[in-house]
Chains A and B, each alone.
Chain A
Amino acid sequence: MGKPKIAFYWCASCGGCEESIVDLAEDILKVVEAVEFVMFPVAMDFKVKDVEALQDGEIAVSFINGGIRTEEQEHMANLLRRKSGLVVAYGACAHLGGTPGLANFFNRDIIFDYVYKKSPSVENPHQITPKLKTTIKQGELTLPKFYDTVYTLDQVIDVDYYLPGCAPPPDLIMKAIEAILSGNLPPKGSVLAPDKSLCDTCRRKPTKPEKAVIKKISRVHEILLDPERCFLDQGVICMGPATRDGCGSRCINANMPCLGCFGSTSRVEDQGAKFLSALASIIDADGEDEIKKITDSIADPAGTFYFYSLPASMMRRRIDIPNE
């Protein structure tokens, strides 16, 4: 029997997830030794027809990163699903929709209008926007359809496991690959990371506020951040209470608050709503005007609390604008 076949693929993502494989450093050699790559856009030159030529289920595991926002991405996700034994939603965008998922506060028309016409860096005298079909003298050109809504991978295909993070950290990647190669796998649908909150293991936990302390909410560039004290105690939004542990506190150690890329623990359905609850309960004000003054100082509550998880949230998108 040959080596197990592995595919990587990217959808609506930045490419950082595929980079994170290359960033395994010397550990990548162990992976290369144990498996055969059949698709790996960032590093190797395979074509779609190479995947199409494989038997159904022939790929041991496909790691798919990025959310689904175009017809082509959906097609590739379905193709890889059909050809693979296991599919792992790799990284925050496949898992939760990620930052590209913030586009769910808009729709295709609003996005195209801004990106191709109104953005200050754009010069588009003929007001050209992408079309599904364009006829030129050599023939017809086509583009895949761009959806109004960004979907998480598991809203489009069946997903076996989730590897969270933006991008997933090397230790979790290696653990996941080893678990898959040895067949020593947790129940289907598991997130391959610890199931507790980031605050639980945060070294700043001793200074985490237990009662209402926030008089003012500041953004990171507005104050000098104390490198030891809990961000919430400093009045800075940190998603730690509503975010899953396992990232190694990379942001916290760099003196930046958590943005929530790991998503919530298994006990929470909606990360943003849960964080809102945690934050509001430590706001130190009882009068309505004072409460409003403090909460109004958060410029973009939904965009902040759902920074990574809007497509995976209960509402999934803004509902009062046209969307298919």
Chain B
Amino acid sequence: MGFLCNWCSYAGADAAGSARKIYPHNVNVIRVMCTGRIDPQFVMKAFQSGADGVIILGCHPGDCHYKEGNYKALRRFHLLKRMLKQFGIEEDRFRLDWVSASEADKFVAVIQDMVSKVKALGPLRLTPLRPPMEKGRGADVQVKAHG
């Protein structure tokens, strides 16, 4: 899953596409106005919904259209990366990088690198969290005799 900022990285990805550059098709791109808009909940949701990796691409430091959105993203990224590790999500599954509108080649290189690392890790094994019994209003549950 890729979250790309509208002003730099999405344009960079667009440039890669227009130039017919070849890169792995594993990334599903979501365009956001700014990397500063990316709520850590989006990243958690992506993993919870079955993404094997999440990449955030934004403007280079100093180039943010909104001045400091990418710095906010950077601060959240470092803390979130540590926290995801505690949940058992490997570091290589979550990445933040800077891609400007003219860096089509960098976009391709970053995606290739990310995809090869995630492929090496294999799928994220989320255990389906079944409720222990059939959830319901209790009507269908056999009541065992207690001593």
Contacts and interface: CB of A to CB of B under 8 A. Distances in A.
A251 B78 CA distance: 29
A320 interface: yes
Given A277-B40, A318-B88, A319-B124, A288 B137 contact: no
B133 A314 contact: no
Nearest to B133: A74
Contacts of B126: 319
Given A274-B40, A274-B41, A302-B83, A319 B88 contact: yes
Interface string B107-123: 00000000000000000
Contacts of B127: 319, 323-324
Nearest to A302: B86
Contacts of B71: 286
Interface in B119-147: 124-127, 129, 131-133, 135-139, 141, 143-144, 146
Interface string B38-63: 01110111011000000000000100
A280 B86 contact: no
Given A82-B139, A158-B136, A315 B79 contact: no
Interface residues of A, number: 59
B15 interface: no
28 contacts: A78-B138, A81-B136, A81-B138, A155-B131, A156-B131, A268-B41, A269-B41, A272-B83, A273-B40, A273-B43, A273-B44, A274-B39, A274-B41, A277-B40, A279-B79, A288-B78, A291-B74, A295-B79, A301-B82, A305-B83, A313-B44, A314-B45, A314-B47, A317-B129, A318-B86, A319-B89, A320-B125, A321-B88
